[in-house]
A and B are shown apart, each in its own frame.
Chain A
């Protein structure tokens, strides 16, 4: 059965695109509460708007009263409109109407707000904003991700938000509103997904050149899948695979990648850029900008400035063989 909000949503925009950041297509309890608030306000305020416009049009085009323009001098300006009547009109429209609408709205928003309080029991995830990518850590484990957050379905997730440089804002529209990430401050926030799926998020506070491409994905897995994923992340990489891609690792270590990036189990321990320990398993690269294909990864390594101009990662000069070896190696980092 279609709910009211689904019907309205359908009217507003026919379908949810796969990457949707739509506020009116909520996929979690918090976002759903806010979406409800929106629909209620939309209906009430459309009514107010129409009322004002109808009054305005009636007032202008309505039949002129005893005060006909051709005859009346300006001195009769108070002739037909008794002060009490006009006062009543202004009080009714300007004070009573807004109070009648705004008071319940205010209290309704308070209850919405109460519904948005962070649940006590929650999975903790730390997210740090960087210009222009997201660092994701799972306290209690060594898992470090970049630009993607794995969460279990149906379980609230408590986010501890910080920033290492300028102010960013954490925002996954289908799961909850946004919360700023301010250097020197730790803000907490929460999200929860009702269904397994991928939810796109994006920085909500202007943070410099590449603010537009500071995106990420929340990947909601069913509980058992999430646990399996967690175990796979904490497993040590198989030595033999490392050996197979040995040449790639050598390239990685020699051309300067290690200045900024780290890969667990190697000497690479830079911390200015995203941790690449699990790069191979990422869906997207560049801050949810490009699908993680061999071609895109190669292009990114060679000339990131062409794809995301202004970022800190410089161009890398590699010959074809080295590049191939490097990409092959990076793909093994599951």
Chain B
């Protein structure tokens, strides 16, 4: 069980079955939304308990994705695809009360990352095209 919450405390998250690794998305949409790379940890939809749901606002691209944020303090909460049956929540790592033991293992949309910064370490890095091709393969395999 892992817990986290927004800056003002209106929204608290309790996660079961959370993955033990982080992923970063460098697409321009995630950059705009979060201020830089969106670094997340995946939680299955059935494993996430949201306390203070009244304070959660969502920005939705219909049929595609949803971004959750706290309407009081603006904290970025999660990203999830809406066009996948599992609708996994990608929880923003900054919310976690304890983010230890969660290595960054993959980066996507690396081709949209500004040249000015980069994460250290060797791990999987995919362009946007590679990421979307993998997503389509995974969906057709389901």
Instruction: State yes or no: do A and B come from one complex.
Output: no
Residues of B in contact with A (beta carbons under 8 Å apart): none
Residues of A in contact with B (beta carbons under 8 Å apart): none
